[in-house]
Amino acid sequence: MVTAEEVRKGFTSIPGFVEQYGVSGGLHRWAGIVYNRTTRSITGRSIFEVDWDVCVVLDACRADELARQRTAFEWLGVVGRHPSLASCTWNWMPRTVAATPASVLEKTAYVCANPFSADYCSPDQFHELDEVWRYAWDKRKGTVYPRPVTDRAIHQWRTETPSRMIVHYLQPHVPFLSDDADPLSRNNFDHDIESIPDAWDRVTRGELSRQTAITRYRETLECVLEDVELLLSNIDAERVVITADHGESFGEWGLYGHVNQIDLPCLTSVPWVETSATDRGTHTPTTDETEGTTIKRADQLRALGYSE
């Protein structure tokens, strides 16, 4: 039951949405959030409720968009659906950890490109917590490219021999990888990065076409799948799952990107692919975890569209 106070707070947020996204975009975004938060609650399943050896997590990957890639990546096979625990990483990650027995986590390696692991994961919980974002952050683009994640996952699986491994890529999450000159990629950390809109903000404001953003999303998804393909050819695993922490909205209910506590199918019904992997020894990892980064974590999160 929604209280009068919650309704009042909802209306007071309208000016902020209008200022940020314009009248039409702001009202659509506000209406979508209010409707979903007052009529639905998210109930999902932890990835650990399913038996697997390696779980590949594609950040912000829609199920229909992964299925669309089967033409180029036939090994994807059947793309099923899985009910996610959340519609954003900062809820998915703590809920996944909290729902998993310590005895399971301590046998699991987590190779993670998402900076939210600093808030919700501890090295003491896992067999190995390899936070790739700490040393392989690309300052110019404002993200972690897929290859360092692939390198570290191959290294962990070959040398540390955990019972299970989660490989958490940042793509196809913004910023998109397909255009190095793209101003929406927030590639200059010397400027006020918080004031630079990401792709979906620009779509909502009418500064970027919806189709252009979707095309770049698809190109970014293709880029990360090329690395997933490389991963699957360089580890031995009988049971591999490819899924997402949450999906991405392409305008459903006036929303673009992903928003906290919104139960839309495009956000919470995530892809689920079951396959296997065979180490053919075709790739030698080169990413060194001692490389380090000088970028502040707050700036890393803002580059991904979040504000602390």
pLDDT digits (tens, 9 = 90+) for 110-146: 999 999 999 999 999 999 999 999 999 998 899 999 9
Evaluate if residue 300 carries a pLDDT over 90.
no
Question: What percent of the chain has a predicted confidence (pLDDT) above 70?
Answer: 74
Mean pLDDT of the chain: 84
User: Looking at the predicted structure, is the pLDDT value of residue 254 above 90?
Assistant: no
Quick: pLDDT tens for 35-65: 545 545 678 999 999 999 999 999 999 999 9
Buried b / exposed e over 224-245, threshold 16 CB at 10 Å, is bbebbebbbbbbebeebbbbbb
Is the pLDDT at 181 greater than 50? The verdict is no
**According to the model, what pLDDT value does residue 298 have?**
65
- The closest of 230, 224, 262 to 244, measured between CA atoms, is 224
Looking at residue 24, its pLDDT comes to 47
pLDDT (average), residues 245-258 = 94
pLDDT recorded at residue 259: 85
Q: Can you tell me the distance from the alpha carbon of 199 to that of 214, in angstroms, rounded to the nearest whole number?
A: 9
Least confident of 17-21, 173-177, 279-283, 286-290: 17-21
Check residue 198 and give its pLDDT.
85
Beta strands 80-83 and 269-277: pairing type? antiparallel
